[in-house]
Structure 1
Amino acid sequence: MHGMIRVPPEKGEEIRKKAVLEGFLDTARKIRKVRTKEGNFLEIPVTEAAYDSVESFLVLEQKNPEFLENSKSLKESLEGFLSKPELALVPAGWQILGNIIIVSIPEILEDKKTRIAEALLSMYPRCRTVVRDFGIEGQFRQPKRELLLGSGTETIHKEHGCFFKQDVTKVMYSKGNLEERKRMSKLGKGEIVVDMFAGIGYFSIPMAVHSKPKKIISIEINPESFAYLKENIKLNHVENIITPILEDCSQAAPEGEADRVIMGYVGTTHNYLEPAIRALKRSGGVLHYHETVPENLARIRPEKRIEEAAESLGKKVEVLETRRIKKYSPGVLHVVVDARICG
């Protein structure tokens, strides 16, 4: 949607400044004058964040939006500051969460990292912080990151009508899982759901906001992620649906209660298959099992692991679908298997 606010010309500069300060001006489109039956107006292009402004603006769909010419690329912005060999190593992509830019910068450009961060901020006026990414580490898959420019690393990222508050130096948020989050938002209506590795609410929040299950039991062992999970439950007004639990899911998962179990973690997820299956109702239910797996085993190993765990509990498995979520690393895929478990 290309939203816009229509205001009288004399109010234009005041509202434009407010849009800049509050971060909902869409800088990719032009502010333009229009004439209607009601008189002359300015159309100020806005992002989805305009809906959350303290003032209740009437946001309209803009017909035939006019886009500004693309600004310089990152490499073009750095010409004259970096040598040609250095420019060849400048990152070609980065992630934006809320108003924070997350970028990987090779070690060889260590002494140019601040200049690269400045160039990125000039490209994205709505952003206020640049963070350098070094990957993930530890049992909780926490990001290893360095603040390059800006004063804060906490932000609220809006996605598919949901809000995710997070500190980008403490919790991971993968853009590659976007389609899976959208898919989960269409499932679970009226059901009892157990989210075994809830994190900050990656799957629990979209499902609660859009599908309205009867109950979601969201289990998370990392205290930092759990704190944001509780905040996001309030932020999205789903306190009546989600029950958060700070504990190891192998101990905290209920038995014989769920219609659906989400296992949205990778690495050692297969170790938790038995408690996940036990969480399902005796009559059965659906399992969403995530795994990182070598490409040549993507359709074999995850399904076999589910079947072996179910068999040990005297259950049967009907594999509904195996979906590729993203490439995890060279030769390794992140997949999710939807399986119906029955007695």
Structure 2
Amino acid sequence: MQLHKLLFFLWMITVSVQAQNKSFVSINPTDTEADIVFKAAHVIPTARQLRWQQLELTAFFHFGINTFTDKEWGDGKEDILQFNPTKLDARQWVKTVKDAGFKQVILTAKHHDGFCLWPSAYTGHTIKNTPYQNGKGDIVKEVAEACAQYHIGFGVYLSPWDRNSSYYGDSIKYNAYFEHQLTELLSNYGKIDEVWFDGANGEGPNGKKQVYNFNSWYKLIRRLQPQAVIAIQGPDVRWVGTETGKGRLTEWSVLPVDEQEQRKIADASQKDVMIKPTIFKAGDDLGSRERIKNARGLVWYPAETDVSIRPGWFNHPAEKEKAKTARQLMDIYYTSVGRNSVLLLNIPPDKSGLISKGDIINLKE
């Protein structure tokens, strides 16, 4: 009987500890500062967040029509017939970054110009209407297959802003259009490990600003690719706030959420909430005891630090000699991964469809 009591007691302790080990936790009005600190110490990442944080290094591949127009931001009116990377080798891309220690890549499946690197059925502004492989090409597929071959994670960036779509600015029509494209990416290319959004948002052809339906998009991702982290306009991963490769000296993973967000968490029974917390200020202190002592809830919300190996995000011939050196890249590692974030380093392939030799040398060094 005493053994049964002991086992029951140990089981109750285990249940109690597991109850504390959540990625979200509520703060009660009666909680003392010590109670809040204790709760903060027991907020943990979800399985998808833990896997993501253990990567340390993710590579970004900015590649698209901008590579051929020598622009950073296209306007959606480009002549896509000029898109024809005659030497494209996605295996070279993936092997390059894997040899340098990266464990995952993200491809710009669609940038702000609206040009799609896969043969989307929902627009003509896509690779199927280019000379590349006589209109039969699919670079999303090529990169996904290369990632599978080299056993490395695969993610996609789908720009919410689309400067080509006539639907943009008609929020209902465009959100439906966006979900169709998102569904294509999440359904046809195997396992997706990260879906990356930014907050770029301009006016549509009707002069109206598009209202994005992020919550609907998050639910779609959770349904089709539940293991994928959603960044950086998303509930799993936040943007560090700068594109310099430098995180804060103390980059907290546990942050406060405000009352409105806490109600949403409660309504979702803390099972798999689809919102991201409010970050009160973009200063040097987001999650210290001083910050969390008046919080109404706490959430695990880690930072991703992004930067490009070159001055621009796309490959520009004029920037060939301006790639970051091995020493600069090592410093960036220390100020990103070394400061409790994941480094997302952009390595843009050139017009031929290859990563430049100079960039490869710097990465290897």
Q: TM-score, normalised by structure 2?
A: 0.26
Q: Which has a greater percent of helix?
A: 2
The structure that is strand-richer by fraction is 1
Q: Under a length normalisation based on structure 1, what TM-score does the superposition of the two structures give?
A: 0.27
Larger Rg: 1
